[in-house]
Amino acid sequence: MSVNDKARIPGGETFDAAVVGAGVMGATTALFLARGGMRCALIDAGGVCREASGVNAGTLTLHMTRAALIPYAMRGWDMWKNAPDWLGGDPGVCTTDGLSLAFTAQEAALLEERVEARRAQGAPIEIVTASRAREIEPGLTDDARLVAHCPMDGYVTANLTGHTYRRALVEAGVRLYENAPVTGIEAGDGGFRLAMAGVAPRARRLVLAGGVWLEDMLAWLGLRIPIKALVNQLIVTERVQPVMRSVLGIASGLLSLKQFANGTVLVGGGWQGKGDRARHTTEIVPDNLIGNLRLARYVVPALAETRIVRAWLGFEAETSDALPLVGPLRGIAEAYAIGCVHSGYTSGPYFGRLLAQRILGQEPEMPLFDADRLLATP
Amino acid sequence: MIRDPEILILGAGPAGVGAALALADHGVRALVVDSGFAAGGQVYRPMPDTFAPNGTPGLGPDQEEGARQRRLLADSGVATAFGRLVWSIGTDLRVDALGPDGPEFWRPKGLVVAAGATERVVPFPGWTLPGVMGLAAATILLKSQCMLPGRRVVVAGCGPLLFAVANAVVKGGGQVVALADLAGPGTWLRAMPALLGRPGDLLQGGAWMARLAAKGVPLMFRHTVREARALGAGLKVSLGAVDANGRPMRPARDRTLEADSLVVGHGLIPSTEALRLLGAEMYFDAEAGGWVPRLDDDQRASRAGLYAAGDGTGVRGAVGAFLAGRIAGLTAALDLGRIDAGQHARAAGPLRRRLAQARRFGRAMSRLMAPPSGLYDALDAHTVVCRCEDVTRAEVNQALESGAADVNQLKSWTRCGMGPCQGRMCGDTVAQIVALRTGSRAAAGAWTARVPLRPLNVEALAGDFDYDDIPLPTAAPL
Ligand SMILES: Cc1cc2nc3c(=O)[nH]c(=O)nc-3n(C[C@H](O)[C@H](O)[C@H](O)COP(=O)(O)OP(=O)(O)OC[C@H]3O[C@@H](n4cnc5c(N)ncnc54)[C@H](O)[C@@H]3O)c2cc1C
Ligand SMILES: Cc1cc2nc3c(=O)[nH]c(=O)nc-3n(C[C@H](O)[C@H](O)[C@H](O)COP(=O)(O)OP(=O)(O)OC[C@H]3O[C@@H](n4cnc5c(N)ncnc54)[C@H](O)[C@@H]3O)c2cc1C
């Protein structure tokens, strides 16, 4: 494959690849394509990593990762841990221990089952005694019935993602189009023409990385793949004295709790708010905010004396089988999609790199997730 | 308290009380919610019942008007919920509050937002030191606690509150070491005709000016605070001259004074978080104090069932707030079908005429309170812009240089505005700095409104509960 052959289509600037959507998926893909020698455009309706990838909880956890994605998440975790080496900066990465808890008999059974399944995929998770759990996390309540420990956990300061990625992208020579919503795509012999305000770029290769808006993007190419939009709520406290040192969750995955170095405590776990992806509006559901907060307060009693200062929401994409959509779009030459990865922030850098390998004509290190299985039969 | 109000009024300042009285007149079941313990808002803030004034002055005739409004509200029979902080409002108009009985919520058909204003302080080196406080904040001490902000006080900034506060300090037996006003005497003279339109009002700048001068208080026009430094338990405050745009002049002639407190403020900003949370259409109006909701002539905001009135819709003062509140109440009654269009017009007409007059005064006052643009130029690299998170102007500039294009992106990258004040203290300054680059405040944007509207204590919100009381959703997929 020749990488730098410039297709000469009349009109706007022509790139080897255009990536639409600058979340962690699209931004990483673009970064590695550029490093692989391609002239690459990255286009986003807003800024770099300002949707899911900039507002997520930033937890790098295997306890919450779907079993089938454990091998990818472990490599993603590793990439985050070594972010300065490949991203050229550190968006506040901290690796630490992670505990997953069970408080009822039912949760204990769930935890055992899930630990088993994740271990089978290579996750270094094991059940620990109560006293070991308290050693790992002195802030923990006494009430846990069963605790699983994973030494491979941690978090990133997600709101810094865009800052770090943007610099890396500019340095790698990726051409950024920000605040530039794409409204359609024309696929022709010479490649793709993007419809957007101003002088629209053209490209030989197309990567759709629209997060929860991937469904609309695929429709531009005539593909119908239903993608569900989860609307996750997060809550953060003011800065407080250290109340915990690990990442805490529960068996069902409905809690993700940690304290950042600056003292703020982030409470999440996928409790749902309300939102409309088409209108780009979200709002919290107060009862879910209180419920999530109760859970956090139960797990770390010292949180009682803190104040919450902010809650926000983000859209997370999910396919019908809750597995990713990463790979070529069969039937349309040189068109690819990447997204819908559960706990996709953790594994995002790795999936982006895998897809870039595939586009650059190399053999991806791990299998991709084909779109064909998801195509709705008309 | 009632469980099912037809109209909920957020805020029991003059605007909220006005709305409540109009609704009561037409038999609408209304509920007024305020985090304070009684009605009055910022301007008519009462003293706690347990206090007996010992002759130390408050801020004068306002106390009577406040008492009158509280009496009218009580007589109207409108339900009230004091001591309740509204922290969330949904687009279905579900209003969540936290109060002495824990969390509670209402689902009214309509909502009148009468949330008032927030003080603006343009930063300068030393503005975060103990002993430095806002000008409007000092009125709270004076009004609700009969307390002086200090024994030896420097009063600085702009707008009518300068003279109100200086006067109250002197009356209370304190010493005003100096009063530094960004405006020149000419500015006041030009504003005088509009201000005199409301004789007897609290903001009778001219009379006070004369009284302060007679008491020997140094009135330094066209002056600003250059810097404050800690000196023992007190402060060393340097004051210097500025030009008509607020830019520093003749630094060699700066003066340094010793004081135990510095009271400084640069006007008020409409509190619009609740409206923005609901997605009400907003526009930027510097003269009204900042971002304000787009309202029709009857105080309707851009979505059905949503009304707004008072300083939260543009800083126009207490008299205008009360009148606009009454109109909002009448309009809500009209929309509920309790009165017809003719009744509405007959009742609102005279109010609207008086409102126009009050707004003339309000606009003159707002102009006096607006900080001149040169103040922001004087903000040096080391000055802390966001005091909760200790973000300096240099850090803000750095983020702008690395590509932050609006206030929310800047917030993500610097933590500016992420602290417990939720961006209320720094938001205006930051937006002003961003606008220097983006060309306008509209392009700089405004913080995205977030829940909770004020910080909330976890214990109070979570309440007493067992694990079984946590409404756990179904498990995430494995
Ligand atoms: C609140 C929340 C908490 C989460 N917590 C975690 C966690 O703790 N750990 C974890 O591993 N994962 C977490 N996730 C999941 C993770 O954030 C996502 O899987 C991941 O960020 C998705 O990245 P993405 O690039 O696919 O999507 P996004 O980051 O959403 O990026 C999609 C981009 O496409 C752009 N776009 C859309 N339409 C157009 C258009 N028409 N033209 C141009 N651009 C367009 C958007 O502007 C956006 O920037 C969380 C998600 C949410 C919402
Ligand atoms: C600190 C301060 C001091 C001032 N002092 C004076 C003065 O001395 N003289 C003068 O003429 N003007 C003063 N003003 C100007 C003042 O804005 C107006 O004169 C007048 O008070 C405006 O009336 P309003 O009804 O619009 O708002 P306000 O009087 O401010 O009333 C708003 C009410 O809403 C309540 N509220 C807001 N948000 C919530 C929430 N989330 N939950 C529950 N309750 C809420 C507040 O507690 C407040 O009682 C002051 C302003 C401020 C900010």
Mutation for A interface: B422, B456, B474, most A CBs within 10 A: B456
CATH number at residue B129: 3.50.50.60
- What superfamily would CATH give domain A14-53+160-225+321-374? FAD/NAD(P)-binding domain (3.50.50.60)
In whole angstroms, give the CA distance from residue B199 to residue B332.
Answer: 32
pLDDT for position A6: 38
Residue-level pLDDT at A5: 37
- Put simply, the chain A residues between 153 and 182 with a CB less than 8 A from any chain B CB are 159-160, 162-163, 166-167, 178-179
How distant is the Cα of B447 from the closest Cα of chain A, in angstroms?
12
Say which range, A239-248, B367-376, B441-450, has the weakest mean pLDDT: B367-376
Say if B372 falls within a structural domain: no
Return the ligand number nearest the Cα of A326. Answer: 1
Mean pLDDT calculated for residue range A294-303: 98
Helices and strands: H and E segment counts in chain A: 10, 18
Q: Is residue B466 part of a domain?
A: no
Instruction: Indicate the number of domains in chain B.
Output: 3
Question: Any idea of the CA torsion for B156, B162, B166, B169, to the nearest 10 degrees?
Answer: -100
Task: Write down which residue in B337, B367, B397 finishes a domain.
Answer: B367
Preceding amide of B452 cis, omega within 30: yes
Taking residue A46's Cβ as centre, other Cβ atoms within 10 Å add up to 20
The residue-averaged pLDDT of B462-467 equals 96
Position B190 in a domain: yes
Start-end of CATH 3.50.50.60 domains in chain A: 14-53+160-225+321-374
Six token digits for residue B230: 């800690």
Query: Do A270 and B458 count as a contact with CB atoms less than 8 A apart?
Result: no
Taking the CA of residue B420 and the nearest CA in chain A, the distance in Å comes to 6
> Cβ contact (<8 Å) for B467 and A64?
no
- CB-CB contact of B222 with B183 (8 Å): yes
Phi, psi (degrees; rounded to nearest 5) at A327: 155, -175
Q: Which two tokens stand for residue A369?
A: 């997730």
Q: Closest CB to A309: pick one of B94, B420, B461.
A: B420
- How would DSSP label each residue in A45-70? SSSTT-SHHHHS--B--STTS-GGGH
Report d(CA B288, CA B454) in Å as an integer: 23
Q: How far is residue B419's CA from residue A31's CA, in Å, rounded to a whole number? A: 33
pLDDT of res. A10: 43
Report d(CA A244, CA A96) in Å as an integer. 11
Residue A98 parent element (H or E): strand A94-102
**pLDDT range class, residue B53, cuts 50, 70, 90:** low
Same domain, B338 and B389: no
User: How close are the terminal C-alpha atoms of chain B, in Å?
Assistant: 47
Quote the DSSP letter at residue B430: H
CB contact under 8 A, B412 and A159: yes
Same-domain pairing of B291 and B210: no
Q: How remote is the CA of residue B326 from the centroid of ligand 1, in Å?
A: 46
CB B335 within 8 A of CB B7: no
Ligand nearest to the CA of A195: 1
> Would you say residue B455 lies in a domain?
no
For chain A, the farthest-separated pair of C-alpha atoms sits apart, in whole angstroms, at 69
User: What is the C-alpha separation between B152 and B262, in angstroms, rounded?
Assistant: 9
Any atom of ligand 2 within 6 Å of the Cβ of B86: yes
Q: Contact A114/B478, CB-based, under 8 Å?
A: yes
b/e burial code for range B401-437 (CB count within 10 A of at least 16 → b): eebbbbbbbbbbbbbbbbbbbbbbbbbbbbbbbbbee
Which chain A residues are Cβ-neighbours of B403 within 8 angstroms?
47, 166
Q: Identify the domain boundary among B266, B281, B306.
A: B266
DSSP symbol at A374: G
- The rounded distance, in Å, linking the Cα atoms of A230 and A217 is 18
CA distance A212 to A214: 5
Residue A61 near residue A153 (C-beta atoms within 8 A): yes
Quote the pLDDT of residue B364.
Answer: 87
**Residue A334 to residue B40: CA distance in whole angstroms:** 67
- Is residue A329 pLDDT above 70, yes or no? yes
Q: Which amino acid is it at A353?
A: R
Stated length of chain A: 378
Question: How high is the mean pLDDT of chain B?
Answer: 93
Whether pLDDT at A310 is above 80? yes
Q: What is the pLDDT of residues A99-155, one digit of tens each?
A: 999 999 999 999 999 999 999 999 999 999 999 999 999 999 999 999 999 999 999
Confirm if A133 and A144 have CB atoms less than 8 A apart: yes
Ligand 1 is surrounded, with C-beta below 6 A, by A 20-26, 43-46, 50-53, 55-59, 181-182, 209-213, 232, 234, 256, 268, 314-316, 339, 341, 343-346, 348
Of A110, A237, A284, the CB nearest to B88: A284
**Is the beta carbon of B46 within 6 A of some atom in ligand 2?**
no
Helix, strand, or coil here: B155? strand
How would residue A2 be classed by pLDDT, with cut points 50, 70 and 90? very low
Residue B29: other Cβ atoms inside 10 A? 16
Q: How many CA atoms lie within 13 A of A102 on its CB side?
A: 23
Q: Does A189 touch chain B (CB under 8 A)?
A: no
What is the DSSP secondary structure assignment for residue B450, as one 8-state letter? -
Of A47, A110, A310, the CB nearest to B475: A110
Nearest to A283 among B90, B418, B465 (CB): B90
CA–centroid distance for B128 within its chain: 19
Residues of B in contact with A252 (CB under 8 A): 472, 474-476
Predicted local distance difference test score (pLDDT) of residue B378: 85
Q: How far, in Å, is the centroid of ligand 1 from the Cα of A52?
A: 3
In this structure, are strands A228-237 and A202-208 parallel, antiparallel, or unpaired? unpaired
CB A245: neighbour CB atoms within 10 A?
13
Atom number of ligand 1 nearest to Cα A59: 8
| B453 within domain boundaries | no
Q: What is the pLDDT of residue B446?
A: 96
Helix pair angle (B341-369, B185-196), 10° resolution? 160
For chain A, give every residue range classified as CATH 3.30.9.10. Answer: 94-153+228-318
B237's enclosing H/E stretch is strand B234-241
CA A376 to chain CA centroid, nearest Å: 25
End-to-end Cα spacing for chain A: 34
CB contact under 8 A, A50 and B409: yes
Query: How much distance in Å is there from the Cα of B86 to the middle of ligand 2?
Result: 15
Residues A307, B420: C-beta atoms closer than 8 Å: yes
Shared domain check, B105 and B64: yes
Residues of B with CB under 8 A from a CB of A: 88, 90-91, 94, 96, 103, 105, 277, 279, 399, 402-403, 405, 409, 412-413, 415, 418-420, 422, 448, 450-452, 455-459, 461-463, 465, 467, 469-478
Region A7-28: mean pLDDT is 83
Q: What is the atom index within ligand 2 of the atom nearest the CA of B203? A: 11
Q: d(Cα A200, Cα A193) in Å, to the nearest integer?
A: 7
Does B450 sit within 8 Å of A294, measured CB to CB?
no
Please indicate, yes or no, whether residues B258 and B145 belong to a single structural domain of this protein: yes
Distance B320 CA to ligand 1 centre (A): 46
Is A166 in contact with B452 (Cβ distance < 8 A)? no
Q: What is the mean predicted confidence (pLDDT) over A52-79?
A: 97
Dihedrals φ, ψ of B211, to 5°? -65, -40
Give SS3 for B321: helix
Rg (CA), chain B: 23
**Options 3.30.465.10, 3.30.9.10, 3.40.50.850, 1.10.10.10; CATH of A94-153+228-318:** 3.30.9.10
**CA-to-CA distance for B6 and B23, rounded, in angstroms?**
10
- Tokens matching residue B419: 């602290």
Q: Give the pLDDT confidence of B340-357 residue by residue, as tens digits.
A: 999 999 999 999 999 999
B364-413 pLDDT per residue, tens: 888 889 999 899 988 999 999 999 999 999 999 999 999 999 999 999 99
Cα-atom radius of gyration of chain A, to the nearest Å?
21
Predicted ipTM of the assembly: 0.94
CB–CB contact B409 A162 (8 Å) = yes
Enclosing domain of residue B238: 121-266
Q: Is the CB of B317 under 6 A from ligand 2?
A: yes
Query: Residue B36 CB: number of other CB atoms within 10 A?
Result: 18
Domain boundary among B330, B345, B367: B367
**Cα angle at A13 between A9 and A16, to 5 degrees?**
80
Residue-by-residue DSSP string for B170-203: HHTT-EEEEEEESS-HHHHHHHHHHHHTSTTSTT
CA of A20 to the centre of ligand 1 (A): 13
Summary count for chain B: helices (H), strands (E): 15, 23
Closest CA to A252 of B478, B466, B471: B478
Q: Are residues B249 and B142 in the same domain?
A: yes
Please state whether the predicted TM-score (pTM) of the whole model is above 0.80: yes
Judge: A309–B457 Cβ closer than 8 Å, yes or no.
no
> Which of B20-34, B103-117, B209-223, B247-261 has the least mean pLDDT?
B209-223
Residues A344-373 have pLDDT tens digits of: 999 999 999 999 999 999 999 999 999 999
Which amino acid is residue B367, in one-letter code? R
CA distance, residue A67 to nearest chain B CA (Å): 6
Q: Which residues on A lie below 8 Å from B477 (Cβ)?
A: 66, 322, 342
Residues of A in contact with B104 (CB under 8 A): none
Ligand 2: centre distance to CA B114 (Å): 9
Does residue A141 sit at the B interface (CB-CB below 8 Å)? no
**pLDDT tens profile B90-147:** 999 999 999 999 999 999 999 999 999 999 999 999 999 999 999 999 999 998 888 9
Mean pLDDT, residues B146-153: 94
Structure tokens at A298: 């139960």
Cα–Cα distance measured from residue B322 to residue B178, given in angstroms and rounded to the nearest whole number: 34
Residue indicated by tokens 């960004």: B182
Given this model, what pLDDT does residue A4 score?
A: 35
For tokens 């109760």, name the residue. A294
CATH number at residue B384: 1.10.10.1100
Predicted local distance difference test score (pLDDT) of residue B146: 86
Cβ distance B412 to A162 less than 8 Å, yes or no, reads: yes
Residue in B closest to A285 by C-alpha: B90
Confidence (pLDDT) at B59: 55
The pLDDT, as a whole number, for residue B209 is 79
Q: How far is it, in rounded angstroms, from Cα A9 to Cα A188?
A: 10
Using CA atoms, how far residue B245 sits from A319, B123, B184, B431, B465, in Å, is 58, 16, 11, 19, 58
Taking the C-alpha atoms of residue B120 and residue B428, their distance in angstroms, rounded to an integer, is 8
Tokens of B64: 């009577």
DSSP letter assigned to residue A251: T
- Best mutation site among A100, A160, A343 for ligand 1 pocket (most ligand atoms within 8 Å of CB): A343
Residue A119, chain B, CB below 8 Å: the answer is no
The answer to whether residue A252 scores a pLDDT higher than 60 is yes
pLDDT band at A3 (very low <50, low <70, confident <90, very high): very low
- d(CA B266, CA B285) in angstroms, rounded, equals 16
Q: What angle do CA B10, B15, B18 make, to 5 degrees?
A: 105
